[in-house]
Homo-oligomer: A and B are copies of this chain.
Amino acid sequence: MDLSLYNKIFENRLRLQIMSILMANEFYDFSSLKELLDATDGNLASNLKTLEKEGYLTVEKSFVDRKPNTRYMKTDKGRKAFENHLIALENLIKQQYK
């Protein structure tokens, strides 16, 4: 069976959650992600960095209410990779062998 769409990057739960949040939202900021996912700063930041390095999301820094704010947004590449991974997962799970 074809596993070319399967993506190891998404084997991590936090990254899976980050991506699925970014699929449902145009963007999401660090603090909100942190709260929502109940993650530590370090863990969240490093997993975001992993996704960013892979080109699956982009980062946009600004000030909101005079406080630093970092927004994350999925890239087209990220969206496709994630969608493909879900397809691969589905195929893998639904496999019916003789």
Residues on A facing B (Cβ under 8 Å): 3, 6, 8, 11-13, 16-17, 20-21, 24-25, 28, 36, 86, 89, 92-97
Q: How many copies does the complex hold?
A: 2
Q: Is the CB of B86 within 8 A of A20?
A: no
Apart from the given pairs A6-B13, A13-B92, A16-B92, 12 other A-B contacts in the complex at a CB distance below 8 Å: A3-B13, A8-B13, A11-B12, A11-B13, A16-B89, A16-B93, A20-B93, A24-B96, A24-B97, A25-B97, A86-B93, A89-B89
The CB with the most chain B CB atoms within 10 A, among A11, A93, A95, is that of A93
Which chain B positions have C-beta within 8 A of A8? 13
Whole-angstrom distance from the CB of A11 to the nearest CB of chain B? 5
